[in-house]
């Protein structure tokens, strides 16, 4: 089961990082219209979710000072493109690491 879940997550990682690399720094603040998240905000949300999702299995959220889910990412617009790409990589690696580190019964258990 672990391998199946990791096989599902790894292509997402590759696609989101590839997409993030296609945008120039100047395009990261683009919004399709007023009131809609910017490109940078969307990537920030993806980074945060990669750190938050594993908490459903009871794992601790990683809160290192230089990580996307840490204090710096309270303001998604604060990270430049290169750091967004680095944080995407780190966040997906965190999620994949959590999946690889759990056995099937842990992943299938209901969270309390």
pLDDT by residue, tens only, the chain of 112 residues: 788 889 999 999 999 999 999 999 999 999 999 999 999 999 999 998 998 888 888 776 554 444 444 444 455 557 899 999 999 999 999 999 999 988 877 767 665 5
Is 87 in contact with 73 (CB distance < 8 Å)? yes
* Dist CA 110 CA 45 (whole Å): 25
How many CB atoms are located within 10 Å of the residue 67 CB? 19
What stretches of 1-112 show up as alpha helix (H) in DSSP? 2-22, 39-52, 81-101, 104-108
pLDDT for the residue 26 = 95
Among 53, 48, 82, 42, which Cα is nearest to 67's?
Answer: 48
pLDDT per residue as tens digits for the range 47-66: 989 988 888 887 765 544 44
What is the reported pLDDT for 21?
98
Ordered domains of the chain (ranges, CATH): 2-107 (1.20.120)
Is residue 40 within 8 A of residue 76, CB to CB? The reply is: yes
Question: What pLDDT is stored for residue 63 in this prediction?
Answer: 47
């Amino acid at each position: 089961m672990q391998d199946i879940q990791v096989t599902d997550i790894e292509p997402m990682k590759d696609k989101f990082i590839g997409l993030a690399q296609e945008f120039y720094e100047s395009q990261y603040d683009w919004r399709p219209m007023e009131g809609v998240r910017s490109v940078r905000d969307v990537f920030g949300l993806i980074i945060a979710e990669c750190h938050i999702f594993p908490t459903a299995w009871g794992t601790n959220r990683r809160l290192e000072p230089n990580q996307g889910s840490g204090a710096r990412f309270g303001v998604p617009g604060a990270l430049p493109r290169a750091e967004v790409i680095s944080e995407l990589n780190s966040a997906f690696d965190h999620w994949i690491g959590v999946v690889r580190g759990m056995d099937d019964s842990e992943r299938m258990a209901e969270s309390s």
